Amino acid sequence: MNDKPVSIRYVVAGMIGLAVLAYILALVFGALPERAHIDFAAIVLVVVAAVGIALLFSPKWDAALFEALTRVRAFQFASLKVELEAIRARQDEQTSRLNLLQLLAPLVLAEAEQKHLLNLQYRKTAGYQGNHEVRTELRRLRYLTLITNSKPIAAAVDGSTFDLAELIQLTPLGAKWAQQLEEIAKPRPETG
């Protein structure tokens, strides 16, 4: 029973090796178009295939693969260098900021202000009625740098009907807040 997984690994490793060898030979003997000559991508393919074959021939290939992946902290491909630890740290920081934002949004923004952000997010901006409260709410959102205005907010005069999107737009921060407000509004599955 134990020989079957081992033989499958050998077959897969052999197939990878043959496929890469066939590709390289086709390149060398001109069987492929001229633009498909040996370049950096072909070299990377050979290296990746060799590593794959070596891992598949290893008696404890799954443990070796896991160990290799956990040891990788950074890798460089041509001029692209990716530092995995830095990416993880940034993701953790963004997660904590979004969690904080989720806690603060209902405390900082009035319900009407939240509605303005969501209306901009959903593009439900037609038919707004101008009045003192709307102008005050929009100025507060602008002060919090959640929106910018393309026209003066004072243009939303009492009794006028206007399209909110023609007056203001979400800033990148405002878009993030709107997304968070949208997440907060989604019903949570009940547990228990």
- Whether residue 192 is contained in a domain is answered as no
**pLDDT (tens digit per residue) in 91-124:** 888 777 777 766 676 677 888 999 999 999 999 9
- Whether residue 174 is contained in a domain is answered as yes
**What's the whole-number mean pLDDT along residues 76-95?**
66
Tokens 């690994």, residue located: 9
Q: Which of 84, 100, 130 is the last residue before a domain boundary? A: 84
List the structure tokens of 127.
Answer: 């038919």
Is residue 66 located within the same domain as residue 120?
no
| Structural domains of the chain, count | 2
pLDDT for res 191 = 52
**pLDDT (tens digit per residue) in 129-166:** 999 999 999 999 999 889 999 999 999 999 999 999 99
**pLDDT (tens digit per residue) in 47-65:** 777 777 776 666 666 666 6
Name the β-bridge partners of 162. Answer: 128
Burial group, residue 120, by CB count within 10 angstroms (0-12, 13-18, 19+) = buried
pTM of the model: 0.47
Domain that holds residue 35: 3-84
Q: Which of 84, 107, 128 is the last residue before a domain boundary? A: 84
Name the β-bridge partners of 149. Answer: 168
pLDDT for res 129 = 94
